[in-house]
A and B are shown apart, each in its own frame.
Chain A
């Protein structure tokens, strides 16, 4: 990708990283996405909704394809489809989220259909595999200026709403019955969160693609919750981890010519394993770590 390799001079390395416009866009969009994905991911894991995150990313496929087909930004198509799906799931209730058997069969069918629909849309467009590849694995290095703007708007709004509804959201997540009795509109909070999740999914897919979304939307939250049981700290930690995975992943990709998605997912997975491993070991061995 570049002629010069990294040195031990960090300032020079950063200058090197940011010398091209596409890398500036990549870092900017990556940072924005990591902020919202990390913040949302904390709640995804707290609420046990990884399955929904995965599902929304799949539903986005025909959305992105439709965006390409209609000559608007794929991100717009993604957002439309993801938000519509989130509202739908919200109305159906918690059964779907919990991966209830009958419901997950229904969701599975919808997933398969939406993937088929996406394939059709891409075929209608030009039959190019390029777009599909970008959607499945992310295309952070090809982010346009207007996408950065849209990403900024979504990340800022999503983060602000998440912080604003933080307490009722935590309450409704860990103890919905008491939360309802205490006056929290649990259903509304749940749907509101799904919409933010849908937006987070839509912009995260740009970076790591639908297949690798776990890396930014679930892994940081999972690691943060392993590290601390304090809600405020866990929330911040999840964001910090998502930022770190994105920045380091981008830098490694830039200097090595391997895909960004590979590095981001490896970092996310590696961190989770390192954090989780001591807890999975038998109690006797655990003392060594402590």
Chain B
């Protein structure tokens, strides 16, 4: 079984500057991976490189043993964004359908099989109740569920989620994290999740990838989620607390601080 992901001495250059370089990284199939790091460190760029949206300037990357290419049905993507325009008039179910055949040219013909597949994904993420409503009218949490269905509908074995919990309230953060964990465990889908706030996913993660200072490193959660490591990583005081029931909580001022952010 090939690794879900294998980067070898990879580097990305945008506009003359190295975003990160010398990245060696391997992720096994079915792992739940959290990608952490300060703003502007290159987390989104990492996902884009894995999708073939940004070319590597050096090194190589394999996804399920194959070179990256756009339109790979094995991979589902949820980009970083705030919300859909409230006036966007397209139904949730149409958006999911686009994940299946939105890239196809030619006259769209009705297909019962595709409709079933879409309905199945919508049910999986629990969006059946609002599948016929316009996406712009839905709440942030509802939109994320629809987008996860869209990312999965092509039969993806890996989900790349760029800050999917941002701008959600606490209970929705919890619900969406649980949903993603369930998909990871029950369907064996590999999950790469970029998170700003690591707390909602802390109980689930198998591996932490952190992006900072032009490097990408990976480690076990118990090694990375530590006061000293995170403080160094974010360049700001961060504290990892152990709660009475044995859980970890990350607190502190790990707001966007990086040399990039300060430059601008």
Interface residues of A (CB under 8 A from B): 46, 48, 163-168, 170-171, 174-175, 177-184, 225-226, 228-232, 234
Contact = CB atoms under 8 A, between A and B. Distances in A.
Contacts of B105: 164-165, 167-168
Contacts, number: 90
Interface string B51-95: 111000000000000000111000101110100110011110011
Given A175-B95, A178-B150, A46 B89 contact: yes
A184 B102 contact: yes
B79 A167 contact: no
A178 B79 contact: yes
Contacts of A175: 95, 98
Given A166-B108, A167-B104, A229 B90 contact: yes
B79 A177 contact: yes
B77 A231 contact: no
A146 B102 CA distance: 38
Contacts of A163: 107
Contacts of A229: 89-91, 94, 132-134
Main secondary structure of the interface of B (DSSP, over half): loop
Given A177-B53, A181-B53, 15 more contacts: A48-B85, A164-B106, A166-B108, A167-B98, A167-B103, A167-B104, A168-B104, A170-B90, A174-B98, A180-B70, A181-B77, A181-B79, A182-B103, A184-B103, A231-B94
A91 B181 CA distance: 42
A224 to B, nearest CB: 9
Q: Considering the complex of A and B, which 9 residue pairs feature the smallest CB-CB distances, nearest first?
A: A183-B71, A171-B102, A177-B79, A229-B134, A183-B70, A181-B77, A225-B89, A229-B89, A171-B98
Contact of A182 (B89, B102, B135): B102
B99 interface: yes
Contacts of B90: 46, 170, 174, 229, 231
A177 B135 CA distance: 16
A225 to B, nearest CB: 4
9 contacts: A163-B107, A167-B101, A167-B105, A171-B98, A171-B102, A175-B98, A183-B70, A184-B102, A231-B90
B102 A170 contact: yes
A221 B151 CA distance: 29
A152 to B, nearest CB: 21
Interface residues of B, number: 36
Interface of B: 51-53, 69-71, 75, 77-79, 81, 84-85, 88-91, 94-95, 98-99, 101-108, 132-135, 150-151, 154
A188 to B, nearest CB: 12
Given A46-B89, A179-B102, A225-B89, A167 B108 contact: yes
A234 B102 contact: no
B99 A182 contact: yes
Contacts of B98: 167, 170-171, 174-175, 178-179
Which of A174, A175, A180, A182 gathers the greatest number of chain B CB atoms within 10 Å?
A182
A245 B135 CA distance: 30
A73 to B, nearest CB: 32
Contacts of B103: 167-168, 171, 179, 182-184
A231 B92 CA distance: 11
Contacts of A234: 89
Contacts of B91: 229-230
A104 to B, nearest CB: 19
Contacts of B106: 164
Nearest to A45: B89
A232 B102 contact: no
A234 B91 CA distance: 11
A181 B132 CA distance: 25
A180 B89 contact: no
Contacts of B150: 178
